Chains A and B, each alone.
With several copies, the nearest count.
Chain A
Amino acid sequence: MNADPTFDDFLLADRPPAPDAERLRLDIDGWEGPLDLLLAMARTQKVDLKAISILALVDQYLEFIDRARHLSIELAADYLVMAAWLALLKSAMLLPKEAQPDPDPQELALKLQLRLERLQAMRDAGARLFARDRLGRDVFARGAPEGLRTIRKRQWDANLFELMQAYGGVEARRQPVVHMVARRTVMTLDSAIERLSAMIGIALDWTDLAAFLPGDVDPELRRSVLASSFVAALELARTGRIDIAQDQAFAPLYLRKAAR
């Protein structure tokens, strides 16, 4: 690390002006959103964010927003949303403890303080990162490396089967054109419904959808079967014939005969 004047420039140039009271009131453009503004205000209170007064911070913020309105400065919506939220938080905090609503306003205040701490931590970390000796700015790699060369010799590869297949393809193209409807290996929704409703009768308890799928089919068909069976399960559930349960996203999907 070194004492480098351009580092300060670097930070100051892009950083909003120091939050002295007057400038804070007027310059709204310098802030990257309400959290950024709150953090700057919090730092005028105490260096240690753990010890700031959230109530005082809320007042400070609301006052700022008020003044901005008086001066007809157009405020972005998120500043107003934050102001509304803070106003609510403040009123809840001022209520006697037993009358405080849920969620607990102290809890919300603490969470706000934790957010500010985290943002500040990352801001400091970024500054420290950029104060390091950086390659191409403070330290330099070799200016004119010879470079390492890899001479690639291509080794062509193909086997007889591929050759046959290719010729087969050419010959097939030359055959008199016969229109064939390609038989795609799919399971239709109708047959999936039929199949699933037949099988669900056998299953007594919650059963993984996967257990209803045939095990030994080619992968292309398997995807189709899975998709069709899933849609079939939705359809059967809609018509009240089965129940579906899933613990969480991407967890196995369980089916059982509707309990009625």
Chain B
Amino acid sequence: MSQPVPDFERGVEAAVFASSEPLTVADIIAHVGEGDVRGALDMIAQRHAGTGIELVERGGRWHFQTPGDLAHLLRRTREEPRRLSRAALEVLAIIAYHEPVSRAEIEAIRGVQTAKGTLDVLMEAGWIRPAGRRDVPGRPLIYKTTPDFLTHFGLESRRDLPGIDDLRAAGLLEPVDVAFDALELEPAEDSD
């Protein structure tokens, strides 16, 4: 600092800083007592000009904010890898093997209800998409996999998916509880 900041100005600065809402001059006086609040505010605003903090007036009330040109620093995008849940994997597998299928058909195969969120997750991942409606009463939406699905799983085409016999040979048609345990070990959510 070039020269010491007067105590009154320090008080004004601290009061505005600590307040949870913008303060009027009268509010400030209630904290720091009578004095040249406007003069102090001007000095504070000048002192912070061009830094990472600015003092601004909006409709007679004063508050600190970060300058608009730095807003991009205060947000950041982070990609979070998330494992698919067991339910989502099953639904995806069923769609891949049976496409196009409706939700009711998926549920019939899985033997349990499918949460709407599960299909949303798969769509968000870009692996499935709605593919029209089935011509039966109720005209349910049907789903199929996308080209991204093939790319992500390293498949040339859906014909590359191993058949039931392959799965059995690979020991993947295990009793349910074992397969279940293996999947249960996955953390439900990744965080860091």
Contact = CB atoms under 8 A, between A and B. Distances in A.
Q: Do A and B bind each other?
A: yes
B82 A171 contact: no
Contacts of B79: 153-155
A138 interface: yes
Secondary structure at the A interface, as helix, strand, loop or mixed, is helix
A199 interface: no
Given A10-B83, A32-B87, A144-B21, A168 B167 contact: yes
Interface string A43-81: 000000010011100000000000000000000001000
Interface stretch (A122-130, A189-197, A208-216, A223-231): A122-130
B111 A143 contact: no
Contacts, number: 288
B86 A14 contact: yes
Contacts of A154: 79-80, 82, 124
Given A134-B153, A140-B18, A148 B179 contact: no
Interface residues of A, number: 85
B163 A128 contact: yes
For chain B, the bracket of interface size reads 35 or more
A166 B94 CA distance: 9
Secondary structure at the B interface, as helix, strand, loop or mixed, is mixed
Interface string B146-181: 000001111100000111100100101111111110
A182 B177 contact: yes
Interface hub of B20, B75, B172, B182 (most chain A Cβ within 10 A): B172
Given A134-B154, A148-B31, 7 more contacts: A2-B68, A129-B89, A132-B154, A132-B155, A156-B124, A173-B110, A250-B135
Interface of B: 14-15, 17-21, 23, 31, 63-69, 71, 74-90, 92-94, 96-97, 109-112, 121, 124-125, 127, 135-137, 151-155, 161-164, 167, 170, 172-180, 182-183, 189-192
10 contacts: A115-B111, A117-B172, A148-B19, A152-B77, A153-B77, A157-B81, A165-B183, A168-B173, A174-B111, A249-B136
